[in-house]
Chains A and B, each alone.
Chain A
Amino acid sequence: MATVTLDNLRKTFGKTEIIHGVDIDITDGEFIVIVGPSGCGKSTLLRMVAGLETVTSGEVRINGARVNEKEPMDRNIAMVFQNYALYPHMSVFDNMAYGLKIAGKPKAEIAARVADAARLLQLEPYLQRKPRELSGGQRQRVAMGRAIVREPDVFLFDEPLSNLDAKLRVQMRLEIRQLQRKLGITALYVTHDQVEAMTLADRMIVMNAGVAEQIGAPMEVYENPATTFVAGFIGSPPMNFLSDSALPALPPTTRLGIRPEHVTLTAPGRGRADATALYSEALGAETLVHLRLGDGEQVTARIGGKTVPPAEGTELGLAWPDDHAMLFGPDGKRIPPG
């Protein structure tokens, strides 16, 4: 049960600042996802909370108390690593029990807590096995189990699903979310996968080049991205951006953002812009139509899977409702409507 506060958190390696001041108040039991492309500083941010990286300036507070100088073990956190970091020579039981053993807990209590975690994660049949005898998904569960048995204040996840295949990833994503809900433990979760961020987060931090570009609930971020970076990064396929060369009505140097699902195809001359169909990708439930505008910019439209897509080379008009079009200034920031 814990709150976590990051207060103007900065990190410098040598002379380069790579985290440029991140602020957030995380409430008890909240699931926060830090999402961004590789190299954006998201892992560093998490490792600063864990105590594996020193804090250059600013403060990390857990339950209101400054922990900058505390060792990881004294912060009462638990961490799940990307490659799981299971101790290869220890059995599943010993892997989960190791932290408790070091903490000097009585044997009976250790056994009980490991047994509880194993039941929760359906690991009971594997307790005596070594990590190498487990599948990827099972190893993932052991890593989770190791975090759970410590009954930490905060869970830290560093891209825990990226070593799994696509199907397992979806399944484990669900399990992590359910588990965190059930245990009610505050969680920080780092990923580069915007789908994971959307599905897991209570709130997400979208990071770019060491800056938290936007913090908010997934749908809020999706509906109201604060910058072109966030707008382009969250959502798949990404948002379309049109400049004033394609839309003469736009103020100069601004860009108009419109999500593919809001683009509708009409006859040439009937929409807000004209375009040529390039090719389409039928995904089953929906079809993505890729088009080229007169100035060469590309636009993607998302249409129903049953609709017959336009043939290559077809001239079309593009339309969209005004309330879904977003205007971004030359600095990439959103210009509020009105």
Chain B
Amino acid sequence: MSGQSGMVEKRGAGLWLTHAGLIVGVLFIFFPIWLAFVASTVTQPEIARPPMPLLPGDQFFENYRKALLSGVNAPVATMLLNSLVMAMGIAVGKIVISILSAFAIVYFKFPGRKAFFWLIFLTLMLPVEVRIVPTYEVAAGFGMLNSYSGLIFPLIASATATFLFRQFFMTVPDELAEAARVDGARPMRFFRDILIPMSRTNIAALFVILFIYGWNQYLWPLLITTDPSMNTIVMGIKQMFPSGDDIADWPVIMATSILAMLPPILVVVSMQKLFIRGLVESEK
């Protein structure tokens, strides 16, 4: 994908203008993050007297230590752990229930299959935000407030992953299932030995997308976790802002923001190829 089919090559001045345009774009994308990083390495007074410096200071370790170990309401280390559990729970949970039901839908004919298919089709694009109040009541009724299961389960109730797996299974040649039958494989054996290994890339790509989806949740954790020790990092940042007129502890807040961005960015950049494939395939 390295521009094999580009728009007729540019040379000389045109090429430099192209690069210049892209660099401006990259700077625009980078600037807010750079500023956050700088703010996470300076002292509170340096920020409180604008303009703040644009180059990093020497408080890096101090600010991050303070954020990780004490934070404002809860130590950021705890929030990071909560986010990790939530993101992993959502990614793994959704993949597991989706791949099982996609297998059933594609490879079996059972009573209610069509109905089930259309029911999960309905869940496709309705985000949790739309049914937020009753979902909250359900979670509260189950005693799931301030719990990992409360953070995870309501967010795996959507069928995007099921559809992705279904689409992929449909492209698996029929003959493979037949060959497995001739070889004596029963359904679950075929699922375990053939279908899952063949889905590895899809599973990995989906994992990246779902991990980020779970990590970046905001509204749901905001409602479901009232206990600071159960806060996830993304929603916890807002809780760090003081109410009223007090000045926010910007260095610690910005250190927390950087920490909150880091895991998903690492996942995206390190699994870039897989992620782009998964994204472009799953959403098209």
Direct A/B contact, Cβ within 8 angstroms = yes
Q: Which residues of A contact B (CB under 8 A)?
A: 50-52, 71-73, 77-79, 81-90, 98-99, 102-103, 146, 150
Given the complex, which residues of A lie within 8 Å of B181, measured CB to CB?
Answer: 51-52, 71-73
Q: Interface residue count for B (Cβ, 8 Å)? A: 17
Beta-carbon contacts of B188-211 to A below 8 Å, as 1s and 0s? Answer: 010001100110100000000000
CB atoms of B182 and A50 under 8 A apart: yes
Which of A72, A73, A83 is within 8 Å of B175, CB to CB? A83
CB atoms of B185 and A87 under 8 A apart: no
Q: How far is the CA of A87 from the CA of B181 in the complex (A)?
A: 13
CB atoms of A89 and B178 under 8 A apart: no
CB atoms of A99 and B197 under 8 A apart: no
Given the complex, which residues of A lie within 8 Å of B180, measured CB to CB?
Answer: 87, 98
Given the complex, which residues of B lie within 8 Å of A79, measured CB to CB?
Answer: 178-179, 182
State how many angstroms separate the Cβ of A97 from the closest Cβ of chain B: 10
State how many angstroms separate the Cβ of B266 from the closest Cβ of chain A: 28
CB atoms of B194 and A87 under 8 A apart: yes
State how many angstroms separate the Cβ of A50 from the closest Cβ of chain B: 7
State how many angstroms separate the Cβ of A298 from the closest Cβ of chain B: 41
- Is B283 engaged at the interface, CB distance under 8 Å to the other chain? no
Q: How far is the CA of A51 from the CA of B185 in the complex (A)?
A: 14
Q: How far is the CA of A103 from the CA of B185 in the complex (A)?
A: 9
- Is B173 engaged at the interface, CB distance under 8 Å to the other chain? yes
Q: How far is the CA of A85 from the CA of B194 in the complex (A)?
A: 11
Q: How far is the CA of A317 from the CA of B198 in the complex (A)?
A: 65
Which of A52, A89, A99 is within 8 Å of B184, CB to CB? A99
CB atoms of A102 and B183 under 8 A apart: yes
Name the CB-closest residue of B to A89: B197
Given the complex, which residues of B lie within 8 Å of A72, measured CB to CB?
Answer: 178, 181-182, 184
Name the CB-closest residue of A to B199: A89
Which of B178, B193, B198 is within 8 Å of A98, CB to CB? B193
- Is B176 engaged at the interface, CB distance under 8 Å to the other chain? yes
Given the complex, which residues of A lie within 8 Å of B197, measured CB to CB?
Answer: 89-90
CB atoms of A89 and B173 under 8 A apart: no
CB atoms of A81 and B175 under 8 A apart: yes
Given the complex, which residues of A lie within 8 Å of B184, measured CB to CB?
Answer: 72-73, 99, 102-103
- Give B145-198 interface residues, CB cut-off 8 Å to A: 173, 175-176, 178-185, 189, 193-194, 197-198
CB atoms of B198 and A88 under 8 A apart: yes
Q: List 6 A-B contacts (CB under 8 A).
A: A72-B182, A73-B184, A79-B182, A87-B176, A102-B183, A150-B183
Q: How far is the CA of A13 from the CA of B48 in the complex (A)?
A: 79
Name the CB-closest residue of B to A78: B182
CB atoms of A99 and B182 under 8 A apart: yes
Given the complex, which residues of A lie within 8 Å of B173, measured CB to CB?
Answer: 83, 85
Additional pairs, 5, CB under 8 Å, beyond known A81-B179, A99-B183: A52-B178, A73-B184, A89-B198, A90-B197, A98-B185
CB atoms of B175 and A85 under 8 A apart: yes
Q: How far is the CA of A89 from the CA of B176 in the complex (A)?
A: 12
Given contacts A88-B198, A89-B197, A89-B198, contact A81 B178 (CB under 8 A): yes
Given the complex, which residues of B lie within 8 Å of A102, measured CB to CB?
Answer: 183-185, 189
Q: How far is the CA of A90 from the CA of B173 in the complex (A)?
A: 16
Q: How far is the CA of A78 from the CA of B184 in the complex (A)?
A: 10
Residue in B178, B181, B184, B185 whose Cβ sees the most chain A Cβ within 10 Å = B184
Given the complex, which residues of B lie within 8 Å of A51, measured CB to CB?
Answer: 181
State how many angstroms separate the Cβ of B192 from the closest Cβ of chain A: 11
State how many angstroms separate the Cβ of B187 from the closest Cβ of chain A: 11
State how many angstroms separate the Cβ of A160 from the closest Cβ of chain B: 12
Q: How far is the CA of A86 from the CA of B184 in the complex (A)?
A: 15
Name the CB-closest residue of A to B197: A89
Name the CB-closest residue of B to A98: B183
State how many angstroms separate the Cβ of A322 from the closest Cβ of chain B: 50
Q: How far is the CA of A28 from the CA of B183 in the complex (A)?
A: 23
Q: How far is the CA of A73 from the CA of B186 in the complex (A)?
A: 10
Given the complex, which residues of B lie within 8 Å of A89, measured CB to CB?
Answer: 194, 197-198, 200
Q: How far is the CA of A126 from the CA of B184 in the complex (A)?
A: 25
Q: How far is the CA of A266 from the CA of B209 in the complex (A)?
A: 79
Given the complex, which residues of A lie within 8 Å of B175, measured CB to CB?
Answer: 81-85
CB atoms of A77 and B182 under 8 A apart: yes
Q: How far is the CA of A83 from the CA of B193 in the complex (A)?
A: 20
Sorted nearest first, the 6 A-B pairs with minimum C-beta distance are A73-B184, A85-B175, A99-B183, A85-B179, A89-B197, A102-B184
Given the complex, which residues of B lie within 8 Å of A88, measured CB to CB?
Answer: 198
Given the complex, which residues of A lie within 8 Å of B194, measured CB to CB?
Answer: 87, 89
Given the complex, which residues of B lie within 8 Å of A73, measured CB to CB?
Answer: 181-185
State how many angstroms separate the Cβ of A292 from the closest Cβ of chain B: 46
Name the CB-closest residue of B to A75: B182
Name the CB-closest residue of B to A50: B182
State how many angstroms separate the Cβ of A98 from the closest Cβ of chain B: 5
